[in-house]
Amino acid sequence: MRVDCHVHIDCTYLGGLIYGGDKTDLAAMAKEFKLNRMMVSSAKAIMYDFVEGNTDTLRLMKDLPDRVWGYCVLQPRFGELALKEFDRCVVQGGMKGVKLYPVLPLWAADEASIEPMMEKIARARVPSLIHPTPVEPFFKLADRFPDAPLILAHMGGGGGLQGLVGPIHEAKKHDNVYLDTATSHFDANAIEEAVRVVGADRVLYGSDFPLLEPAAQMAKVSSAKIKEEDRRLVLGENMNRLVKGRKV
């Protein structure tokens, strides 16, 4: 089972240079890298209109039902609308996870507005991919909601706690935190260190396609000096287990 935990559509909204991330792009990427599933969120939903962008993802799920699992992008400062969007997309629409983008000045991962939404997410045990900049509030969130499976995008690189080593070692303290391998920099032995420190069962393969080159992201994992059983966990079995653990 191979699952890419970090894929986007509508990437003209995030500055995608070559691919926009339409269904043709995603289907070709899945075929090339033998992916059973891709966890997909809309860049339009992140940067512009989360309801419209989530609707695009729901449509993609119907177009590629055997490849796409959707993330519901939520903006907690919209209050009741964000809670209704969770119900529309996750409970009724079958999306498998939540994508949160707490990047200042949009909002912060530990601010009060996120409480009602995180309570729903924690009760449902829905995995949430979070891009934290800065990263420190992410770990405060993990402490406050220990029942919520939280995926630290890019292993926390670039968001504080200098480099990747700091976030990797901080993640070890939080049993509900998982590390997404997609990074735009290639620190030596980052995959090996993540597996050694937090355990192979909490490391998830992500490409950040189409913003990053998937061949390079896959090579980091396929060439890592780890056990083959651990590689299988990272490349998809872990994400598949998280999705099956949902209570909605």
Q: Where are the domains of the chain?
A: 3-244
> Is 67 in contact with 35 (CB distance < 8 Å)?
yes
Q: Which residues of 43-65 are buried (b: 16+ CB within 10 A; e: fewer)?
A: bbbbbebbbebbbbbbebbeebe
Report d(CA 81, CA 130) in Å as an integer. 20
Q: Note whether 7 and 38 are within 8 A (CB).
A: yes
Q: How far apart are CA 126 and CA 245, in angstroms?
A: 8
Encoded tokens for 77: 């400062």
pLDDT given for residue 160 in this prediction: 46
Q: Map tokens 């991962």 to a residue.
A: 109
For the full predicted model, state whether its pTM sits above 0.85: yes
pLDDT in tens, the chain (248 residues): 999 999 999 877 665 555 667 899 999 999 999 999 999 999 999 988 999 999 999 999 999 999 999 999 999 999 999 999 999 999 999 999 999 999 877 788 989 999 999 999 999 999 999 998 888 999 999 999 999 999 999 998 754 445 788 899 999 999 999 999 998 888 889 999 999 999 999 999 999 999 889 999 999 999 999 999 999 999 999 999 999 999 99
Residue 157's pLDDT is 79
Using the structure block, give the residue that is written with the tokens 């993990």.
142
Token output for 24? 């043709």
Single out the residue of 168, 164, 162, 113 nearest to residue 141, CA to CA: 113
Instruction: Work out the end-to-end distance of the chain between its first and last CA atoms, rounded to an integer number of angstroms.
Output: 22
Q: Span 3-244: which CATH code?
A: 3.20.20.140
